[in-house]
Chain A
Amino acid sequence: MEPDRSTGLRGAFQAWMRRAGVQSAVRWESGLVVVAIAVVVFGALTSSQFLTSGNFFNLSVSSGEVAIMALPMTFIIISGEIDLSVASTLGMSSATLGFLWNKHWPMLAIFVVLAVLGVVAGLINGLLVTRVGLPSLAVTIGTLGLYRGIAQIILGANTISNFPATYTTIGVNPIPHTVIPYNVAIFIVLAVIFGVVLHATPTGRSIYAMGASPEAALFAGIRVKRIKTMLFVVSGLVCSMAGALWTFRLATAVWNNAIGLELSVVAIVLLGGVSIFGGKGSIVGVVLATIIFAGLLNALLLTNFNQEATGIVIGGLLLVSVFVPNAAAFRSRARGLGRGRSLRRSPEIGAVHD
C-alpha cells in the first residue's frame, strides 16, 4: 500500500507540473537560452563588428519599441485574445505627435494627448471585443486599418522632422555613464513590472485562467470582460507611448512609421513560448525572445541582407515558434495513442485513479 501511494503522489505531482505548464515552460526557455547563444555566435562569425560596444547600442536601440510593445501583447495573447492594431496605434500616435508639434503645441501637452489617444484606441478594441462580443482578430484587423488610416489623414504625405535635439538624441546617445539606450531602459523597467503583475498577483493568475478556460474563469468569479478591456487599454497606452519613442529615435513623423510591425511583436511573443491558444507563457521567455530577435535582426543588418525583405526571416521565426510546440504536442498525443486506449484519458483523471 505504501509504495503505491508514493507513486500516486509523485504521479499527481507530475500531473500538476504538467498542468501548470512548469516543465514544458522551463524546457522551452532553456531552449531559448541556447538559441540566444547561437545567435550571438552566428553574429560574431558573420561580422567582426557584432561584438563591439557600439554595435550593442545599435542592436538594442533599434528593437526597443518592439520589445516594449511585446509586453502588453504577451498579456493579451495569454488571455486568449490578440491585438493586431499595435503598429497602427504606434503610427497614429507618431502622426499626432508630428502634427501637434508642427502646430507649436508644448511637448508636455502633446504627451497628455498621446496618452489619451492610446487609452481611447485600446478602449475601442476592448469594448468591441468584450461588450459587443466580437472576435479580437476581426476587431483589431479593422482598427489596424482604421488607426493607420487616421495617421494617413492627419499627416498625409508630410514628413515632420524638426523635433528638438533634447528629444531626438535618445536615438543616438545612451543614458549618461552607461551603454544602455533610453528605450531599452524603459523596456527593462516595464518588463519587471509586467513580470511581477503576471507572475505574482491575482490579476496575473486571472489572465492565465481566462486564457486556459474562459468559462471556468467566469464561474470562478473572475471579471473576465473588465480585465480583458483593461489589457487592451494598457496595450493602446503602451503602444502610443512607444510611438513617441519611435518618432524621437528616428527624428521623423510619417504616417507609415512602424508599418507591419505587428508581425514582429506577435513573432517575439510566440517565440517566447506564449501559446497562441492562450493560458500559457512567461515574461522571462518573452524577454529572451526579444534578445534573440534583436540579435538576429542586427546580424542580418551586418550581413547586407536586403533590409526590406527581413519579413521572410521574421515570418519564418513566427511559423517555427508555433510549429515546434504544436509538433511536440502532436508527438506526445501519438505516443499516447500507441500505448493503448486507457491512456487516452486526460492526465488529471489518470493521476487521481493511480
Chain B
Amino acid sequence: MRCLFRLSVGLLAGCGGGAGSVTFTTWGEEYIEDRIPAQAGAKAGFVDGWEVSYARFLVVLGEVTLAKKTGEAGPKQTAPLVVDLKKPGPVELFAFQDVPATKWDKVSFAVAPATSSATRIGAIAAADVERMKTGGLSLFVEGTGTKGTVTKRFAWGFTTNTLYDECQNDDFGEGVAVPTGGNEVVQLTIHGDHFWYDDLESPDARLRFEAIAGADGNLDGEVTLDELAAVQLTSLPLGQYGTGSAGSVKTLEDFVTSLSRTVGHFRGEGECVSKAR
C-alpha cells in the first residue's frame, strides 16, 4: 500500500510539468500535548517510574527549503515561526504556492534562535514569543517530572541552532513530491521524548528522569540548567548517559543540550541529518 501511494504521488508529480502547493504543519504529538508516561508492560515510557508533562514547549521553526540533490533550488521560507506545541495541533505554519510539480528530494528546516522578526503561529501567548526573542532562544521547555508524591519542575531555554537537512520518511521517501494541481501536506514533527534519552547514540537508549530529578542540588523542587551543569556524568552509573563519539559531553547540561538538537523529525517518524550551526 505504501509503495502504491508513493508511486501514485510520484507519477502525479512527474506528469505535465505543472504546479502545486505544499502546506507545512507542525505537531508535538501526544507526548508533548498530554504527557510521557512511565513504562508499563509493552507500553513505552520512562523506565525508572517517572512521568513527564510539559506546560510549555516553545520551538522556533524556519528556513524551510525545498531543493533537489542535483542542485536545483526550490522555494525557501525564511521568517522564524514561534509555536507552542503544548497547544492542540497539528498547527499550520505556512504554504508554498505555485511550486513546480516534481519530486523535491532535499528538504530541510531549522530550529534556530528567535530573532526580532519572529512570528507567532497558532495559540501562543505574546509573552512567550517575547521570551524567545529576548533570550535568542530556539527551544524552551517547561514542565514537571512526577514519581509518586515527588514532583520536580524544569524550565530550560536553549540557544542551539540546528539545521535538519535531507529529511526523509519511510512512507513518503526523500523530501516531498508536489502533485500537479494538488496540495501536499508536510508535517515537521517534534519529538518531546528525546530530551529524556539516556544515551546519545545507542539504539538501546531509554527514557530516564531519576538523574535529572537528582540534580536538584538546593532541593527547591526545580531543576535548573545550572544544576544540570554541576552533575558530571562520571557520577552516574556507567551504563547510563553514554555519549558514544561525543567525547566533549561531560555534564547533564551538555547531555540535554545535545539532545535538544535531535527533536526535529519529518512527517511523523521520519528523520533528517542534524547539523549543528
Q: Do A and B come from one complex?
A: no
